[in-house]
Amino acid sequence: MFKLFGDKPDHPLFSLAEAKLLLSQLPQDDDYQSLEEITFWLESIKSADGFSPELRIEIILLLDEEGQPLLTKLLDQFIDVQRLRDVKGTHLWQGIHAFTKALSDTYASSIREYQQAENKPLNTSRQVPMICVRQLLAASGQLKLELMQYIEVESSVWQNLWFGYQFSETEGFAESLTQAYTNQTIRTSPKRELLRALVLYISSPGTLAADQIELSYSISGQLASSFDLKKVSEPNYPYQLDLSVNVPPHKTDSNLAEDPSTRFFGAVWALPALKEFIDRFESGLISNKKAFGGKLTPAGELIVLKHLMNYWALELPHRLMERRSISATIEVTHGFRVICQVVNDLDGANLAEQATSRSKKNLEIDLNPDAEIEYATEVWDVSDMSVGGIGATLTGGVGAWVEVGSLCALKPHNSHQWWVGMIRTSAYQYR
């Protein structure tokens, strides 16, 4: 980059005033492009030379505040379309994921710069708890988006979560309440935001759709004060994490020696609040309005509450049928019309008749049982099975269409008999 600004930083956002001017020129009719440009500025300012720690963080805060409304709108659109697994949904996810990742990384970098500064500006020092909370929120936002795509969580997510929380512990404000954004009335703390992310991860999100994951994230945030994190293991803390290693949390291992970097956590104290919500739903006190302001109906919210009730308890749900390890392959295809064609036991004429009746409710299905449809199959490696299901790990781009609730047709390799199946959980699912 050319030296255009004398003693100013070698960067277009060389001052707060210039940053505000450039942001005012973002396209007003294209939220995606605007967020994309903000993401670019976040990534570029993270390592740009010539900025004082105070100026850098002020511009990062400004970029964050400008991007948050766009993130909210685009995430809302993604949740609406993600069930379709189309190009638009993938495009939306890539844009919002890039923003949250850049925000988390940039905040973490600015905190490290603050730590290393000999003279720490007083104004920045006052903002540090809020900055740390925002950094943890961005990291948990990235976690949530990756869970929505049913992909392996990036190690950078755990690195930024562990770093932000450790920093708050060292500085002595891990439990200090602060207002993350001016439009958020509920005050939070670094410890609460770390716990929100941890509890979301251990709540079996691989068995939930994107709108259900979003609701679980919201509920976890509202009840985060009921979760707890400790340095010593106790019966009500069934999970543990290691702040020195960038790996996910897991079930507490009683055989491992306690370590200064180990933390134990649990969510059982939130169960009474969940039970109260469930009782209000089932007694009819909550029936005509949404309790949590999301996209789900009250009945849909009740399903998520019961799901969380199961996975926040000390005893996790157990399989009803034994699952045995095997090594085999199956062929899989998907699409409603393809399934109707390949599965011999389905009566296409009856399905067409049902589709006609559904069209009266504006659910149109163009189904011609006599038309041959071209389709492709994928080969999945099966690792285990039970009477009611099979387990397979998908790698190398196989199963890009897969999401919880997806219908598919499957058959053993070299067999002619197809069966109908449904995706119930993702391959990464917490165990």
**372-388: pLDDT as tens digits:** 788 888 888 888 887 77
Residues 395/400/404/409 CA torsion (nearest 10 deg): -90
pLDDT score for 185: 85
CA angle 407, 412, 418 (to 5 degrees): 50
- Structurally, how many domains does the chain consist of? 2
> At which of 178, 207, 223 does a domain end?
178
**Rounded to whole angstroms, how far apart are CA atoms 29 and 175?**
41
> At which of 178, 196, 216 does a domain end?
178
Mean pLDDT of the chain: 85
pLDDT digits (tens, 9 = 90+) for 330-359: 889 888 888 888 886 544 444 445 445 544
pLDDT score for 288: 57
pLDDT classification of 287: cutoffs 50, 70, 90: low
**Rounded to whole angstroms, how far apart are CA atoms 420 and 341?**
11
Residue 395 corresponds to which tokens in the numbers above? 């790698």
If you average pLDDT over residues 266-281, what whole number do you get?
93
In this structure, are residues 249 and 265 in contact, taking their beta carbons and an 8 Å threshold? yes
pLDDT digits (tens, 9 = 90+) for 3-39: 333 456 768 888 899 999 999 999 999 999 999 999 9
Q: Among 71-75, 300-304, 394-398, name the one with the lowest average pLDDT.
A: 394-398
Is 45 inside any structural domain? yes
**Rounded to whole angstroms, how far apart are CA atoms 195 and 140?**
10
Is 292 inside any structural domain? no
The yes-or-no verdict on residue 321 having pLDDT over 60 is yes
The 3-state secondary structure of the chain reads CCCCCCCCCCCCCCCHHHHHHHHHCCCCCCHHHHHHHHHHHHHHHHCCCCCCHHHHHHHHHHHHHHHHHHHHHHHHHHHHHHHHCCHHHHHHHHHHHHHHHHHHHHHHHHHHHHHHCCCCCHHHHHHHHHHHHHHHHHHHHHHHHHHHCCCCCCHHHHHHHHHHHHHHHHHCCCCCCECCCCCCCCCECHHHHHHHHHHHHCCCHHHCCHHHHHHHHHHHHHCHHHCEEECCCCCCCCEEEECCCCCCCEECCCCCCCCCCEEEEECHHHHHHHHHHHHHHHCCCCCCCCCCCCCCCHHHHHHHHHHHHHHHCCCCCCCCCCCEEEEEEEEEEECHHHHHHHCCCCCHHHHHHHHHHHHCCCCCCCCCCCCCCCCCCEEEEEEEECCCCEEECCCCCCCCCCCCCCEEEEEECCCCCCEEEECCCCCCCCC
Is 50 inside any structural domain? yes
If you average pLDDT over residues 293-322, what whole number do you get?
83
The yes-or-no verdict on residue 413 having pLDDT over 60 is yes
In this structure, are residues 260 and 170 in contact, taking their beta carbons and an 8 Å threshold? no
Is 246 inside any structural domain? no
The yes-or-no verdict on residue 394 having pLDDT over 80 is no
In this structure, are residues 265 and 192 in contact, taking their beta carbons and an 8 Å threshold? no
The yes-or-no verdict on residue 93 having pLDDT over 90 is yes
**Rounded to whole angstroms, how far apart are CA atoms 429 and 431?**
6
**Rounded to whole angstroms, how far apart are CA atoms 74 and 68?**
10
Residue type, 403: E
Is 132 inside any structural domain? yes
Q: Among 32-36, 37-41, 196-200, 419-423, name the one with the lowest average pLDDT.
A: 419-423
pLDDT score for 4: 37
- Is the full-model pTM beyond 0.85? no
Long-range contacts at 250-254 (CB < 8 A, ≥ 24 apart): none
If you average pLDDT over residues 138-154, what whole number do you get?
95
Residues near 14 by beta carbon (within 8 Å), at least 6 away in sequence: 5, 8, 50
Pairing of strands 419-422, 407-412: antiparallel
**Rounded to whole angstroms, how far apart are CA atoms 105 and 114?**
14
pLDDT classification of 266: cutoffs 50, 70, 90: very high
Task: Identify the CA nearest to 298 among candidates 320, 313, 283.
Answer: 283
Residue type, 2: F
Range of the domain at 376: 324-422
Is 207 inside any structural domain? no
Residue 417 corresponds to which tokens in the numbers above? 């008999």
Residue 265 corresponds to which tokens in the numbers above? 């956590």
Is 114 inside any structural domain? yes
**Rounded to whole angstroms, how far apart are CA atoms 308 and 92?**
28
Which one is predicted more confidently, 217 or 362?
217
Is 17 inside any structural domain? yes
> At which of 124, 156, 178 does a domain end?
178
